[in-house]
Structure 1
């Protein structure tokens, strides 16, 4: 296939620089050059549209695309769970997200199936099942269900929410099993969670020494550990153990943020899921008690974002959406734009997220040699960040040089 020139768009390249009116030439799945090209080939007229890099969501749960409690209690068939996962994958692409980091819930088969092009979806990096301490965040068995039966809820090659470890040796075995199943990084839960069954937000989980075992195993494979962490003590335990990233970070304080910055530990706040939990707990298939657990989290997470910015922590962007309604993934950019600026939200969702995912040489900015992951927006989302939230405004989505959505 010959070169394709995208002409007439206002190009926002993801670096934080102001938009520029520049033609973008795509060839062999990558950006060949910026500026007028003498090469003959197809022209795509993008006049009046805004081009951004393909968006990246650094915190997704494709495997939790059905009603949560019914899925965990065997009320939904594997076929329907699969259908819901693949529908979410397609909706993610349609919202302008060409790459995602799955932070728990899918097994390697989903990654492979999307990569083969058998279903529509973004490029997926996955941790496979989340690593949790016995009875900690991520365990959703019934009160009477023995821990050892929990893994029976896994559907090999499709979904595997979490694995339980009672000590460091069990954790070492479980993370090795996660890598065997295709994980490309690890995720541990080191505090209680909002969507929790047997814990509190104030709980810390795993010791520094235990977390360090996962860090050691990840380093042996040239990859890293990220952690689910809400309270400050749990965040600090994880940072001291050598993790590379913190998800949520709700109660992060100044001294811990300073330590994160010094050790180049990234933060991925997650506002969209908090909004959904506040307004539609039942629609996610969760008990009303979850709503009570989330009260106050949005305000504290907003403060943590400000603390992290002040300390110059690398801050990415993740939606953490769960349940059947995951089509408005861009809500996260809209929410972040209101707390920072639309440009800062976009950079977090492109350049910074690519760095966090270890893909900074491949995606995240519009520059020669990068993969041609591009989105054309109907309007200018830097002036009206509401545009990010509605998938209908992503009128054309290109992934590795191939148009995967075009509703111009």
Structure 2
């Protein structure tokens, strides 16, 4: 199959190339050239802008229903599953061919999507988040006994978090997360915006606890990423050997330099902040959450600039939660306003692929890579609002198979 006539933006940061032809064979990109041979099986992409399949490095498919109801048994398992499946379908249809789920699902969802029983992107998952009792990720009300938290798990579908206190419990939690299908580990090392029991300035887990998770991940040839806002928590995580920081809303120049020194990546998440500022009740959260969000918005913008100055790898994640997860591309629009449309696209393709450890497979339009591709009706580099318009996606190819065609 030849995709012909598109303007190709290859995901490396190189200038767009007009009128290109991309050959897809056996699920991979076989060649990028000027024109196919006569009689070739061709898909006309004239007037479209073709990019690598987008990658969202911070999703929560396990939180696809109204949040408060979904964690207090206020939503049936059937509805939870239906919402998660629909979220997967819409994510793929909007051009995101790979995602990294940073906590809340287990291998059950990953498996049914990979088998083709549910339409969706390729999923790398952390399994349940590892958090301390009462920390970010422990979403139970104050009156609920801590021992009851595991009752919220739905084996084979959703496991929000495992509570770990002390290095030995951390080792056990890490091993349990891997048993449930985790590809990497996610820890919460500071308070969070939607937390019930902490503040953004709180640090969580000691260096010894974080290091125990790093050791378990290293033993399996993978890594630890951390939810972190304040610099004390980030520094603890760096000292323990983590590979990535999510959010990072208080990263300053000094901390960014330390991250660069230790090759620790940064995945900002602007879309969720914007959505919660507009109306946190849409996600099924209390309106008062907005009071905690404002600080995180400007903080993340400043942190992006600090990371860029230091030479930190900056990925891209939406972190959308609740039922309103239709517009993951808004993250790229918001990043375009902070940096540039090209920087936003590169972060959401080749840089994300590198952070996820799959850069040899996806993330660029070049021979040998998986044929994960998305074509937009207009050029998002000229008008980044295109990123935030799911209707602007004309064609989605995943693993060489056309999964959406609205040309």
TM range (shorter): over 0.9
Shift of 1:39: 7.8
2:16 is the counterpart of 1:9: no
Q: Which range moved further: 39-48 or 372-381?
A: 39-48
Q: Which residue of 1 aligns with 2:68?
A: 69
Q: How far apart, in 1, do the equivalents of 2:372 and 2:38 lie?
A: 21
Secondary structure, aligned partner of 2:62 = coil
2:187 is the counterpart of 1:179: no
Which structure 2 residue ranges, 5 or more long, are not aligned?
none
Shift of 1:40: 5.2
TM-score normalized by structure 1? 0.98
Q: Which residue of 2 aligns with 1:240?
A: 239
2:148 is the counterpart of 1:141: no
2:17 is the counterpart of 1:20: yes
Kindly tell me the number of residue pairs found equivalent between the two proteins: 405
Superposed, which structure 2 residues align to 1:3-402 within 5 Å? 4-21=1-18, 22-35=20-33, 36-38=35-37, 41-402=40-401
Counterpart contact for 2:279–2:287, Cα < 8 Å: no
Secondary structure, aligned partner of 1:355 = helix
Q: Which range moved further: 139-148 or 175-184?
A: 139-148
Secondary structure, aligned partner of 1:63 = helix
Q: How far apart, in 2, do the equivalents of 1:321 and 1:88 lie?
A: 11
Secondary structure, aligned partner of 1:369 = coil
Q: How far apart, in 2, do the equivalents of 1:192 and 1:40 lie?
A: 60
Secondary structure, aligned partner of 1:83 = helix
Q: How far apart, in 1, do the equivalents of 2:95 and 2:377 lie?
A: 12
- RMSD between superposed Cα atoms in Å: 0.8
Q: How far apart, in 2, do the equivalents of 1:257 and 1:40 lie?
A: 54
Q: How far apart, in 1, do the equivalents of 2:42 and 2:251 lie?
A: 49
Shift of 1:37: 3.7
Secondary structure, aligned partner of 2:46 = coil
Which structure 1 residue ranges, 5 or more long, are not aligned?
none
Q: How far apart, in 1, do the equivalents of 2:14 and 2:43 lie?
A: 24
Q: How far apart, in 2, do the equivalents of 1:42 and 1:63 lie?
A: 40
Q: How far apart, in 2, do the equivalents of 1:310 and 1:127 lie?
A: 29
Shift of 1:155: 0.2
Q: How far apart, in 2, do the equivalents of 1:182 and 1:44 lie?
A: 37
Q: How far apart, in 1, do the equivalents of 2:88 and 2:344 lie?
A: 22
Q: Which range moved further: 303-312 or 142-151?
A: 142-151
Q: How far apart, in 1, do the equivalents of 2:246 and 2:253 lie?
A: 17
Q: How far apart, in 2, do the equivalents of 1:15 and 1:40 lie?
A: 31
Shift of 1:256: 1.2
Counterpart contact for 2:133–2:146, Cα < 8 Å: yes
Q: How far apart, in 2, do the equivalents of 1:242 and 1:168 lie?
A: 15
Alpha carbons of 1:40 and 1:209: their partners in 2 closer, same or farther (altered >3 Å)? farther
Shift of 1:41: 3.2
Q: Which range moved further: 283-292 or 78-87?
A: 283-292
Secondary structure, aligned partner of 2:386 = helix
Shift of 1:107: 1.3
Deviation >4 Å, runs of 4+:
none
